[in-house]
Amino acid sequence: MPTIFVYALKNTLNDEVYVGISADPVRRLAEHNKGKNRYTKAFLPWEIFFMEEQPDYNAASIREKYFKTAAGKRWLNNLWVERHE
């Protein structure tokens, strides 16, 4: 079974955050930065600031949903701030 990741992207120009799931987050980042996603193409460029390996797609989906909640967004924002102080 392939490895699956939950990842978070950040656009530093407007503080937009995007959370997704991919077996290859680096390739997926390139696709986002080429405008191949309807949502992310409006906020180019993106950088990965968080990746978390998950045991399967179901676990990744649950974790992705968490990061899209207010608590999950707060956690990701705090992580970004800690890494950029």
Note the pLDDT tens digit of each residue in 43-72. Answer: 999 999 999 999 999 999 999 999 999 999
DSSP 69: S
**Residue-level pLDDT at 66:** 98
Q: How far apart are CA 76 and CA 67, in angstroms?
A: 7
Q: How far apart are CA 16 and CA 8, in angstroms?
A: 10
Note the pLDDT tens digit of each residue in 4-27. Answer: 999 999 998 888 999 999 999 999
- Res 2 pLDDT > 80: no
Can you give the pTM of this predicted structure?
0.92
Tokens for 13? Answer: 């120009």
Q: How far apart are CA 21 and CA 52, in angstroms?
A: 10
Percent of the chain with pLDDT over 70: 99
Report the largest interatomic distance among the alpha carbons of the chain, rounded to a whole angstrom: 38
CATH of domain 4-83: 3.40.1440
Q: How far apart are CA 41 and CA 53, in angstroms?
A: 25
